């Protein structure tokens, strides 16, 4: 059966024998180059059914993190006390990872971090409380932008309509705004948490602590796209004129300015043995972080990505486009960290993956002025034929990790 595969996805669906993740999982990409016809690079799974993310999880166990910590100490000493009030910047919103990173840098390593927050599109009650707790318990200073609300809504709606990508504007702000703060304040050391490559990007990306400048710099406005539309053409689609000053905050830094600044964007997870569950326990103990009292829709966990009401929608759209949802992402990560076994992981995926995000969807769609029936129709346009089949009982996956897909039988 020769079915069309959207987004440049592999036509043959393969699941990792060790971690249950699929070769349809997209790698992290450069958001401001994302167009409706962009082709995705995806997780590599070898001929034996073993994924790169699983292989790296085994390699990671052999890393000498005491040696890596010594490298970190040298790096911190190089930057300590050189830039006035702050030594480094930690981007985040008070989730477990940013809470862990900022607290350990300040209280174990004696650094003076400035925290930078690109706010969620729609804060959850629990996310906002964690944000406040993060800053107060850690006595942390923070920079948060005042972005234009119409521009935020317009770009988010556009990214859903053209890309089925509700989170694009948040990712753009999270990666780009912190660079601008560093440039303005002349603080050339930024720490993100774990490297995206641990979850599926090419293994070679884990070989050093530096994040590629391609994620947050550009050479020409002609190469920039937001919501799948060339930046120069955005006003053709907008009801109101978008001013350059309101748009600029979403854009990456110019490459020449970044190069001349000597800014280093690094992954703290390169130097420290970054385990999400341990970050969670640490942030609860030291940074006032609290999980939700109920599980997140689409998965079984209560503490991952809980600050934005649009999170659940984002993972649902991943399920639509790539056939794997939030439970698969969580299960794969916990298996790689030896916190789950395969049988338990398969049961959790069968129970929760692809669950409709009913809790917040009305509020999110009302905020964006999208009718629910229009959104549901839109999702069907993004279902790749090689992943989905329309049956008398509705849309069904052709293949899943439990081998109960309509083409697995």
222 plus 152 within the same structural domain = yes
Instruction: Answer whether residue 9 is part of any domain.
Output: no
Whether 167 and 254 map to the same domain: the answer is yes
- Establish if 33 belongs to a structural domain: no
Pairwise CA distance, residues 254 & 248, whole Å: 11
d(CA 224, CA 218): 8
Residue with tokens 């450069």, as numbered in its chain: 30
Query: Is 51 part of a structural domain of the chain?
Result: no
Domain tally, the chain: 2
* Shared domain check, 325 and 205: no
Residues 161, 101: one domain?
A: yes
Answer yes or no: do 170 and 95 share one domain.
yes
Tell me whether residue 177 is in a domain. Answer: yes
Q: Is residue 364 part of a domain?
A: yes
Nearest to 323 by CA among 382, 377, 408: 382
Q: Are residues 352 and 213 in the same domain?
A: no
74 assigned to some structural domain: yes
Q: State which residues form the domain around 232.
A: 65-270
**What does the pLDDT average to over 189-213?**
86
Answer yes or no: is pLDDT of 195 > 90.
no
Measured CA to CA in angstroms, residue 400 lies from 40, 151, 154, 408 at distances of 20, 38, 35, 8
In a domain, 127, yes or no: yes
Share of the chain above pLDDT 90, in %: 92
DSSP of 326-344, one letter per residue?
Answer: HHHHHHHHHHHTTSS-HHH
pLDDT tens for 6-49 read 999 999 999 999 999 999 999 988 899 999 999 999 999 999 99
Q: Is residue 30 part of a domain?
A: no
Determine the 3-state secondary structure of 152 from DSSP. Answer: helix
Same domain membership, residue 240 and residue 361: no
What pTM does this model have?
Answer: 0.95
The total of other beta-carbon atoms located within 10 Å of residue 323's CB is 26
Same domain, 317 and 393: yes
Neighbours of 230 (CB within 10 A): 14
Write the pLDDT tens digit of every residue in 132-161. 999 999 999 999 999 999 999 999 999 999
Same domain assignment for residues 95 and 151: yes
pLDDT in tens, 76-108: 999 999 999 999 999 999 999 999 999 999 999
Which domain CATH number covers 186? 3.40.50
In terms of domains, do 213 and 256 share one?
yes
Cβ atoms of 163 and 34 within 8 Å: the answer is yes
């Amino acid at each position: 059966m020769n079915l069309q595969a959207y987004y440049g996805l592999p036509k043959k669906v393969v699941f990792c024998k060790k971690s249950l993740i699929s070769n349809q999982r997209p790698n992290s990409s450069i958001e401001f180059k994302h167009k409706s016809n962009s082709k995705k690079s995806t997780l590599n799974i070898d001929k034996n059914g073993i994924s790169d993310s699983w292989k790296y999880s085994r390699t990671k166990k052999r890393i000498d993190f005491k040696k890596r910590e010594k490298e970190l100490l040298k790096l911190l000493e190089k930057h300590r006390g050189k830039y006035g009030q702050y030594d480094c910047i930690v981007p985040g919103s008070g989730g477990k990872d940013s809470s862990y990173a900022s607290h350990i840098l300040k209280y174990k390593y004696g650094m003076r971090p400035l925290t930078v927050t690109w706010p969620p599109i729609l804060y959850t009650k629990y996310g906002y409380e964690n944000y406040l707790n993060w800053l107060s318990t850690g006595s942390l200073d923070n920079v948060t932008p005042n972005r234009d609300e119409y521009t935020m809504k317009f770009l988010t709606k556009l990214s859903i309509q053209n890309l089925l990508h509700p989170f694009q504007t948040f990712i753009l702000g999270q990666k780009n705004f912190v660079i601008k703060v560093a440039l303005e304040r002349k603080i050339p050391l930024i720490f993100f948490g774990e490297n995206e490559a641990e979850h599926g990007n090419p293994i070679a990306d884990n070989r050093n602590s530096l994040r590629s400048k391609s994620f947050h710099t550009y050479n020409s406005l002609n190469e920039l796209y937001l919501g799948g539309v060339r930046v120069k053409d955005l006003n053709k689609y907008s009801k109101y004129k978008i001013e350059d000053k309101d748009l600029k905050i979403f854009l990456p830094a110019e490459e020449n300015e970044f190069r001349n600044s000597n800014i280093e964007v690094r992954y703290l997870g390169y130097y420290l043995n970054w385990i999400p569950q341990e970050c969670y326990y640490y942030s609860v103990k030291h940074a006032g972080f609290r999980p939700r009292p109920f599980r997140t829709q689409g998965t079984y966990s209560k503490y991952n990505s809980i600050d934005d009401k649009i999170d659940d929608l984002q993972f649902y759209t991943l399920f639509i486009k790539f056939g794997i949802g939030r439970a698969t992402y969580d299960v794969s990560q916990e298996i790689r960290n030896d916190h789950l076994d395969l049988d338990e992981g398969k049961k959790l995926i069968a129970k929760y993956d692809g669950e409709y995000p009913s809790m917040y969807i009305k509020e999110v769609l009302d905020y964006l002025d999208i009718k629910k029936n229009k959104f549901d129709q839109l999702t069907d346009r993004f279902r790749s034929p090689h992943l989905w089949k329309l049956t008398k009982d509705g849309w069904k996956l052709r293949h899943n990790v439990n081998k109960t897909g309509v083409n697995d039988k």
